[in-house]
Amino acid sequence: MADYTAVLPIIIVAGIAILIPGIRALSKSDRVTGAAALIGLGISMFLVLQFLWDGTAPITFAGVIQLNAFSALFMLVFLSVGAYVVISSVGFVKGEKHTGEFFALVLLAISGMMVAAGSLDLITLFIGIELTSLSSYALVAFRKKDKRGAEAATKYFIYGGLSSAIALFGISLLYGITSAYVDSGGLPAGTNPLLFTSIGAAVSAAQVTADPILFLATVMIIAGFGFKIALVPFHMWAPDVYEGSPTTITAMLAAGSKKMGFVAYFKIFLIGLLAIKADWTVLIAVIAVLTMTMGNLIAVSQTNIKRMLAYSSIAQAGYILIALPIATVGDPATIAGFAGITIGEYGLAGGLFQIVTHAFMKGGAFLIVAALSTVAIGESISDYKGLSKRAPLMAFAMAVMLFSLAGIPPLAGFASKFVLFSGPVYASQTAGNGWMIWLAVAGILNSALSLYYYARVVKYMYVEKGPTDRVKVPLSMAVGVAICFLAVVIIGLYPQPVIDACLNAARALLGA
Amino acid sequence: MSELFNLLSDMHVLTLLLVLPLAGAIITFLSGSKVKAAKVIALTFSAITLALATLLLLAYPYGQTITSAFQFSFVDNIPWIQSLGISYAVGVDGISVPMVFLTALLCFLAIVFSWDVKSRTKEYMGLMLVLEVGVMGVFMSIDYFLFYIFWEVVLIPMFFLIAIWGGPRREYAAIKFFIYTHVASLVMLLAILSIYFNAASILGYNTFSMVTIGSVGPAFAVGFQSVMFLALFFGFGVKMPIVPFHTWLPDAHVEAPTAGSVLLAGLLLKMGAYGIIRIAMPTLPSGAQDWQWLLIVIAILSILYGAFAALGQKDLKKMVAYSSISHMGMVLLGFATFTTIGVAAGVFQMFAHGLITAVLFMVCGIVQHIAGTRDIPKLGGLAAKMPYYATFVMIGFMASLGLPGLIGFAAEFPIFYAFAWMNGVWNWWILLPIISVAITAAYYIWSMQRSLFGPLTDKIDTSHLHDVSWYEAAPLVALSALIILFGIFPNLIYQYITPVANGILSFMGVL
């Protein structure tokens, strides 16, 4: 009898997903269906929290999925995203067909993300990502009569399929390299060659490092998973898809799917390819700076709020990516407060923290757009004129989300950017890593740039005069927004537990 | 220690000074649609805050011996984010106490002065109180992280005050103000992070405490200090503002509502100067000495540029805005002398300029309100119709141009004195800032002569001109009284500042 503890949270979410169409058919109520989905997510979240609470050693299932501080942190993020997407979708999809399938697909996507978070080898990671991707394609096309939705889904499917193929090609090359290494006796016979640790061991060996195929595989991996994260120059699909999707699904794509791409990057680069870091740190650093700069520059000229937020998501991905080169710095942090961790772990924790806060602030912003669209407030930024009079609470929540995205204290976005950007500053004080300070400089200049387009939306909402009729958003959507709002404010005022969780997660990944 | 001191310590007076306006802001925002209620709530809370700040001023033991740059009273210290070494830590010394008092005073008076705000009164009053929390926090934080949070919190209410209640180009001015000062803040943040990690590697543990980091400041590498000082100087300087990073200021001032201008010039600019004397100079002593020449050059540049630009303005408010640049340059010049007299006078100038500039912006607001224009060429002979108004203008202008007996003189004269007698090659340079005295006198007297005296103007409709209302006169009377009081007895404030200025400079090792 295998120990299913590690996969139980995933099984529960996936199991409920399979039951949901039946629940919908029997109850004929979106609320009941949503509640069922929520119960599944809640139990799963409880199990993950219990694991973190107990602080027990990592639990592995079948050698390919592991519940540890790193995967638990990501699972919690994904489950929270799932929860607020489900809650707000109850009001969002009211009166539409196939809502049972809608909720089922959301849960399947979440379980795919959880598989990716827990994965120990490349193929499990890939399966998790594909599970999420396939569910998301259908979700994007949920409103099949909507032309923009259909176009977005087609585009997403083609780009997604292509990028999966590229990633898979990279994986197969790595498989070849590692298998050859196992066969040559470098690792015990029968070792799973796709384990990140096997790849790590193989890549450290001299004869492999020199292999040009390894370089090709690295490039394929960067490109393949770079599409999923929407890094520049693989970002073209994101604004169209984010704009065309049902907005609660956009929230899930930005807050969940994108983060799954980071899971892939962190695991492959920091466990598998750490030995050849000299080959990719600068490349990743350049991509990070390009991504944040392009994202912010293009966001400035957007008139549609979903597109603006999409480009802002691209920029945020650039910020998070800063953590990857920093995480390779192995020097121990000789400071008492950070006893027992390396500078790299501190830097990675900054990236993880930004992932957590971004899930709430960007998700929250999209949920507000979704909520307002149900009361016939359009998606053009000029439709938000005078919003502070029409929907004061929504306008206030939006202002908080946007200021948090810009990194204004005392909100969560400030706390996470503070830790994230302090990583390069810290790393730059070690030998040979002086250039990393420029990552912090680039991030900080970009934050200032981003303030322009965030403040513009706030200006429209609070300064410009618009229609004065009061609007009332559906309760379930208001609850979804409230969750994100509270998370942003509370994490901003008391970030200590989240920072500790991120430090533990970073240690679990890099210390492995 | 007096009984009052113990009483205030037990009350956690500094935390109370932050909580009171915050509570007032929340209650104001939540108050119903009654305009009067919002005003009364805001006024009450700011009045209690002012009373408390006055008690703080009276209770602060200014007679104590100051031996270090970082010797604070009324300290509240609660760990906040332990893994990063961040605490909620507040405390005051002889430099911050007058600034805290000034903050409470100006916020209270600005709320009184805004008694006739009719559009969105509730939000207006609430934002004023939020601003008060932010500025208070900056002047009392002794933890870098907390300091930065309050520093940034100030931006948001000011952004809204300009963007919603401002003049015709308010949106442009508000966003320009926001982005300029935010960029500067971020550069400052980068410097703070570098200092934090450097201090941590010297200390062996990480902390954002200003006191602890300051104590290892002299141990930082010389090159590091030099770079960091420049970054901090930029971060604080934009807020001050220093030439050439001053261009946001005239726009923001011209468009801001009167009370917004009062707080902007009276308090927000002081935050920049405060950062230099509280953080940049004592924490990075050798960096400060490396760049002393730059401080002096920029100070003189700001003094002269501000004065000459003011001379060329037609808009009364823009003239006052440029005069602020000139007077804040004076603060910097005082600091740059690295002498006790100069630094103390620089801090005193911060206090003095806060009082004077409040009067100046208020009279600009009144003339805009009553005559409908601030254009100096369109005004004339107002003294005949508005004698009280003319009196207040004269007090403000005379104080600002440094008439002996008023507070401006008590600040500027020691600065010039300190600069002229400081060591080194700079002695003859005193002639440059001295020129500004003549220019300043010129633009004030000239504008006064054109707008207040002579025949009554026929360019505007003068039939409905009336003198100042009670809610406009009351703050002006209070400010004028203080301008005269501290002009005659400047030592009332200097006794707080001088020991700390001495402590900072001896800590830096430049005395």
- Collapse the DSSP code of A505 into the 3-class scheme (helix H, G, I; strand E, B; otherwise coil) and give the result: helix
Q: How far is A329 from A338, CA to CA, in rounded Å?
A: 15
For chain B, give every domain's residue range: 302-511
Q: Provide CB contacts within 8 A for A435, sequence distance 6+.
A: A282, A285, A428
| DSSP E strand stretches across B365-458 | none
Angle at B173 between CA B169 and CA B177, to 5 degrees: 175
**Chain B residues whose beta carbon lies within 8 Å of the beta carbon of residue A496:** 80-83
Q: Quick one: tokens of A339? A: 């006893």
CA nearest A419: which of A360, A361, A353?
Answer: A353
Sign of CA dihedral B199, B204, B209, B210: negative
Size (chain A), residues? 512
Cα-to-chain-centroid distance, residue A178: 29
Instruction: Kindly indicate the confidence band of residue B167, based on its pLDDT and cuts at 50, 70 and 90.
Output: confident
Domain boundaries, chain A: 8-510
Nearest-Cα distance to chain A for B103, in Å, is 21
| Dihedral sign from CA coordinates of B418, B424, B427, B428 | negative
Q: Please tell me the distance in Å from A410's CA to the nearest CA on chain B.
A: 6
Among B314, B346, B344, smallest CA distance to B330 is for B346
Quote the DSSP letter at residue B209: B
pLDDT score, position B313: 93
Chain B environment of A416 (Cβ under 8 Å) = none
Preceding peptide of A497 cis, ω within 30°:
no
- Taking the C-alpha atoms of residue B188 and residue B198, their distance in angstroms, rounded to an integer, is 15
What's the token pair of residue B131?
């601003």
- CA A92 from chain center: how many Å? 22
Count contacts between A and B (CB, < 8 Å).
98
* pLDDT tens-place string over residues B68-102: 888 899 999 999 988 889 999 999 999 999 999 99
pLDDT classification of B248: cutoffs 50, 70, 90: very high
Nearest by CB to A336, from B156, B193, B205: name it: B205
- Best B127, B149, B185 member to test A by mutation, with max A CBs in 10 Å, is B149
Q: Which of B178, B101, B91, B89 is nearest to B132 (CA)?
A: B101
d(CA A170, CA A125): 13
Which 3 state secondary structure label does DSSP give A329? coil
Mutate to test the interface with B, among A296, A319, A322, A338 (most CBs of B within 10 A): A338
Q: Kindly report the number of other CB atoms within 10 A of residue B325's CB atom.
A: 25
Read off the pLDDT band of B118 (50, 70, 90). confident
Kindly provide the b/e burial profile for residues A275-292, where b requires at least 16 CB atoms within 10 angstroms of the residue's own CB. Answer: bbbeebbeebbebbbbbb
Element (H, E) at B91: strand B86-92
Q: Which amino acid would we find at residue B137?
A: G
* Average pLDDT of the residues in A309-329: 95
Beta bridge partners of A60: A66
The full length of chain B comes to 511
- Residues of chain A contacting B204 with CB distance shorter than 8 Å: 334-336
Beta strands in B125-195, from DSSP E residues, in sequence order: none
Specify the pLDDT at position B1: 60
**A147-183 vs A196-204: helix crossing angle, rounded to 10:** 50
What are the b/e assignments for B211-233, b being 16+ CB within 10 Å? bbbbbbbeebeeebbbebbbbbb
- Contact map slice: B 174-203 vs A, CB within 8 A: 174-175, 178-179, 182-183, 186-187, 189-190, 193-194, 196-198, 200-201
Return the residue matching tokens 């100087």: B233
- Residue burial A40-56, b: 16+ Cβ < 10 Å; e: rest: bbebbbebbeebbeeee
Contact B80/B87 with Cβ under 8 angstroms? yes
Confidence band, pLDDT 50/70/90 cuts, at residue A1: low
Query: Is B114 in contact with B107 (CB distance < 8 Å)?
Result: no
Alpha helices, DSSP H only, in B372-406?
382-385, 387-401
Whether residues B84 and A425 touch (CB distance < 8 A) is answered with: no
Choose the closest CB to B175 out of A429, A444, A455. A455
Query: Given an 8 Å threshold on Cβ–Cβ distance, is A334 in contact with B201?
Result: yes
E-state strands within A51-144: 59-61, 65-67
pLDDT in tens, A196-223: 999 998 888 867 777 788 989 999 999 9
pLDDT of B288-301, one tens digit each? Answer: 999 999 999 999 99
Please, what is the end-to-end C-alpha distance for chain B in angstroms? 29
DSSP assignment of A372-388? HHTTT--SBGGGGTTHH
Query: How do residues B124-157 score in pLDDT, each as one tens digit?
Result: 999 999 999 999 999 999 999 999 999 999 999 9
Q: Are A305 and A381 in contact (CB under 8 A)?
A: yes
User: For residue B126, what are its two tokens?
Assistant: 């609430």
Residue B282: pLDDT above 90? yes
Please state, rounded to an integer, the average pLDDT across all residues of chain A. Answer: 92
Chain A closest CA to B144's CA: distance in Å?
12
Residue B244 phi/psi, 5° resolution?
-100, 25
Phi, psi of B166 (to 5 degrees): -85, -170
pLDDT over 90, % of chain A: 74
Considering chain B, what percentage of its residues have pLDDT values greater than 90? Answer: 75
- When pLDDT is cut at 50, 70 and 90, the band that residue B454 belongs to is confident
Closest residue by Cα to residue A394 from A424, A374, A415: A374
pLDDT 10s digits, B184-235:
999 999 999 999 999 988 888 889 999 999 999 889 999 999 999 999 999 9
Residue that the structure tokens 């009280």 belong to: B388
Nearest to B182 among A335, A429, A451 (CB): A451
Task: Return d(Cα B158, Cα B185) in angstroms, integer.
Answer: 15
Distance from CA of B373 to the nearest CA of A (A): 24
pTM: 0.93
- The full DSSP string for A230-274 is T-TTS-THHHHHHHHS-HHHHHHIIIIIHHHHHHHHHHIIIIISG
Sign, CA torsion A357/A361/A364/A370: negative
Q: What is the percentage of chain B residues whose pLDDT exceeds 70?
A: 100
Chain A: residues touching B (Cβ < 8 Å): 334-338, 403, 408-410, 414, 418-419, 421-422, 425-426, 429, 440-441, 444-445, 447-448, 451-452, 455-456, 459, 462-463, 494-496, 499-500, 503
Q: What is the mean pLDDT of residues A476-500?
A: 94
Of A9, A250, A41, nearest to A140 by C-alpha is A250
In terms of Cα–Cα distance, which of A124, A175, A132 is closest to A13? A132
Nearest to B81 among A425, A447, A496 (CB): A496
Question: Quick one: pLDDT band at residue B463, thresholds 50, 70, 90?
Answer: confident
The whole-number pLDDT of residue A296 equals: 96
Residue-level pLDDT at B251: 92
CB A41 within 8 A of CB A86: yes
d(CA B203, nearest CA chain A) in Å = 8
Amino acid at A242: Y
